[in-house]
Amino acid sequence: MDIQTLRTRHPDHWMRAAAIRTLTLDAVAAANSGHSGMPMGMADVATVLFEKHLRFDPKAPNWPDRDRFILSAGHGSMLIYSLLYLTGYEDITLDQIKGFRQWGMRTAGHPEFGHAGGIETTTGPLGQGIANSVGFAIAEANLRARLGAKVMNHRTWVIAGDGCLMEGVSQEAIALAGKQQLSNLTVFWDDNGITIDGKVSIADVTDQKMRFLASGWAVFECDGHDPEDIDRAITAAKKSDKPQLIACKTHIALGSSAQDTSKGHGALTDAKLIADTKAAYGWTGGPFEIPAAIKAQWEAFGVRGAEARAAWEANLAAMPAARQKLVARLFSGAVDERALARAILGVKKAAVEAKAKIATRSASEKVLTAVNPVVFETIGGSADLTGSNNTKTPDLGVFSPEDRKGRYVYYGIREHGMAAAMNGMALHGGVRPYGGTFMCFTDYARPSMRLSALMGVPVVYVMTHDSIGLGEDGPTHQPVEHLAISRSTPNTLVFRPCDLVETAEAWQIALSQKSTPSVLALSRQNLPTLRTDAGAVNKVAKGAYVLAEAEGKRQVILMATGSEVEIAMKAKATLEAEGIGTRVVSMPSMELFAAQDEAYRKRILPPGSVRIAIEAGVRQGWDRWLLGQGGREAKAGFVGMKSFGASAPIDRLYKEFGITAEDTVALAKSLI
């Protein structure tokens, strides 16, 4: 259909969609940057979705049972900003649209979670939105089963482009959603045939519909510019008992001279092009001018959702007080701190009593076994390493099409998809996801782990086999730089506990976070219980503390984390026997230690002693604590890895790589 036909056949629809298109053209021109083509191409689909299907209430953007709308093709951010402005979300005013991509505005280059109601997740790194959406849909299905359909019963809608579908993470998401038969999930594919480098066909000939069918999706098609056809496809899709792809044939940068070209993908800022395009649309208003009648039509689309919300609130108000309280708490993001503290304290007490020598991954399992029954919102999982990550506890059940109440997800061999799904669950609210893989494979999950931190979602990454200590599997499986990588990332808490007590304290902190993800680095190998106290005080919360004080005059401070704290304690024993007073500082979280005031940090790491850090990873990140002596120069050293690991039994590896008590003692003596 040409533009003229589209305009005349559905004139009201046309002008509503044109409002998106012209706002996009104007905002991108004002910013002199951005992406015009995608919002211009998908305006019709979005208009029909918001008009007839999406359950949303601009006045209550955080209403728990709203539909979620996810713009996976985040570069087309002007699409969502236009939609939020037109329908009347108060965060996105016309001034925000005019300030697109400027400092301090909510209308960032790509949609940023937290900037405005209606932005459900941060997108832009391609494939993330569609992969998040699987988490949204899992959370909804799980809560629907556990809280009832009167509390939770909504859909998740996604707009994805060719970039999203080329990224590998989309395959992980598609396959997971297909297996889980997430019928509450609908993905619109913006099939415009264009990427930055040219036609899609220069890099891809995939039959996307066949690909989705292969993973158990239902597939629908429509002309992405024909509102009747779009509505028909959506209506049909909603009836499916599988997740649905709606392939929308569209024209990027519709109606402009850049239509159907790579140029159309980017920023269309040429004044004549914009004027000509608006003329082709039949649009007569000036820049950023939306006729009141059109704005009113858009705002009316929120009525359906407002009514639904009112009904939902009435339903909730009729429920028992305890249920109302639970729902309120779940969607506030706060766990039941008292129940959590009780469970943690129980684990700690049992730990100092039993003094068991267990791996911190097993310690983590003990913690979860105590915590999961009393923390309603945890949803565990693993990327096909359940028995190794120790993430499954008996009470959870398994989430599946047959058991939607299950709280454990078999993510398959999909670390990236798992992390992205966990982000989606946490963003959905009502659940707190944790998931496991080997620490080395944080690499695979890295793009989504960064987004956990950027968005500030409190997911917990259970990363076991956290050093060469995993032994024979060798360097491909042995993290060396991964603690440094996680620590380099802003707004990320990295924990490397040394025993069961520290593991319990780390979990307590991680589950109490509201806007920070946590990475738990846990050992494969058994470790002794080093902590002897098990009070209510959470020592890990300070990041670092004196685990064992020097007996004589302090000459050496040994800092260590995780499995290397045991080595520090052994080295201390030897040094003390030789009259060298040695303090051992356990530093389970550098970030939390860095957050303490200087007085505390100086108390733990006073100047004047030789300092040695022991960690079976690279030195990067340690120099701050080793060399920052604060006024009095002293010597420092590091016992750790300088290269990748190797395949051999654990003891041999620690010996060959020089990470032993003997190496530590020798280094300390050489520095004194």
Is position 26 an interface residue for its own copies (rule: CB under 8 A)?
no
* Pick 175 or 426: Cβ nearer its own copies: 175
Question: Which residues, other chains included, contact 48 with Cβ-Cβ below 8 Å and sequence gap of 6+?
Answer: 13, 227, 230, 231, 234
530-540 burial by CB neighbour count: b if 16+ within 10 A, else e? bbeebeeebbb
Q: Which of 24, 132, 142, 195 binds its own copies (CB under 8 A)?
A: 195
- Distance between CA 473 and CA 438 in Å, rounded? 11
98-133 burial by CB neighbour count: b if 16+ within 10 A, else e? bbbbeeebbbbbbbbbebbbbbbbbbbbbbbbbbbb
* Pick 382 or 529: Cβ nearer its own copies: 382
Q: Which of 4, 656, 662, 672 binds its own copies (CB under 8 A)?
A: 656
* Pick 152 or 653: Cβ nearer its own copies: 653
Q: Give DSSP secondary structure letters for 211-242.
A: HHHHTT-EEEEEETT-HHHHHHHHHHHHT-SS
61 appears as a binding residue in the annotation: no
Catalytic residue among 167, 415, 502, 615: 415
Whether the Cβ atoms of residue 124 and residue 79 lie closer than 8 Å to each other: no
- Distance between CA 634 and CA 628 in Å, rounded? 10
What's the min distance (Å) between Cβ of 579 and its own copies?
Answer: 27
Phi, psi of 531 (to 5 degrees): -75, 135
SS (H, E, C) 635-648: CEEEEECCCCCCCC
| Number of other CB atoms surrounding residue 642 within 10 Å | 10
What's the min distance (Å) between Cβ of 577 and its own copies?
Answer: 30
575 appears as a binding residue in the annotation: no
Location of structure tokens 């300092």: 611
Q: Give DSSP secondary structure letters for 51-69.
A: III----TT-TT-TTSPEE
554 appears as a binding residue in the annotation: no
- Distance between CA 88 and CA 366 in Å, rounded? 49
Is position 488 an interface residue for its own copies (rule: CB under 8 A)?
yes
Encoded one letter per residue, x for contact with its own copies by CB under 8 A and - for no contact, window 84-113 reads -----------------xxxxx--xxx-x-
Is position 416 an interface residue for its own copies (rule: CB under 8 A)?
yes
376 appears as a binding residue in the annotation: no
* Pick 256 or 452: Cβ nearer its own copies: 452
- Distance between CA 592 and CA 234 in Å, rounded? 48
Site for its own copies in 341-400 (CB under 8 A): 382, 384-388, 398, 400
Binding residues for its own copies, total number by CB under 8 A: 113
* Pick 62 or 488: Cβ nearer its own copies: 488
75 appears as a binding residue in the annotation: yes
- Distance between CA 207 and CA 205 in Å, rounded? 6
192 appears as a binding residue in the annotation: yes
115 appears as a binding residue in the annotation: no
- For residue 427, give Cα distances in angstroms to 118, 239, 309, 515: 12, 26, 19, 11
Q: Which of 491, 512, 526, 574 binds its own copies (CB under 8 A)?
A: 491
* Pick 48 or 494: Cβ nearer its own copies: 494
Q: Which of 93, 215, 261, 596 binds its own copies (CB under 8 A)?
A: 215
Strands (E), 451-580: 460-464, 493-495, 518-522, 526-527, 545-548, 554-560
Q: Count CA atoms closer than 13 A to 405's CA, side-chain side.
A: 8
Whether the Cβ atoms of residue 400 and residue 407 lie closer than 8 Å to each other: no
Is position 594 an interface residue for its own copies (rule: CB under 8 A)?
no
- Distance between CA 80 and CA 50 in Å, rounded? 11
- The kind and range of the H/E element at 561 are none
Is position 170 an interface residue for its own copies (rule: CB under 8 A)?
yes
What's the min distance (Å) between Cβ of 444 and its own copies?
Answer: 5
402 is catalytic: no
What's the min distance (Å) between Cβ of 315 and its own copies?
Answer: 35
* Pick 31 or 548: Cβ nearer its own copies: 31
Site for its own copies in 426-465 (CB under 8 A): 440-441, 443-444, 446-447, 450-451, 453-454
Q: Which of 647, 658, 669, 671 binds its own copies (CB under 8 A)?
A: 647
53 appears as a binding residue in the annotation: no
Site for its own copies in 52-81 (CB under 8 A): 74
* Pick 68 or 392: Cβ nearer its own copies: 392
- The kind and range of the H/E element at 658 are none
388 appears as a binding residue in the annotation: yes
Choose the binding region for its own copies from 78-86, 199-207, 250-258, 362-370 (rule: CB under 8 A): 199-207
Return binding residues.
35, 75, 124-126, 162-163, 192, 194, 265, 361, 388, 441, 465, 473, 477, 524
> Which residues define the annotated binding site for Mg(2+)?
162, 192, 194
Catalytically active residues are 415
Binding site residues for thiamine diphosphate, as ranges? 75, 124-126, 163, 192, 265, 441
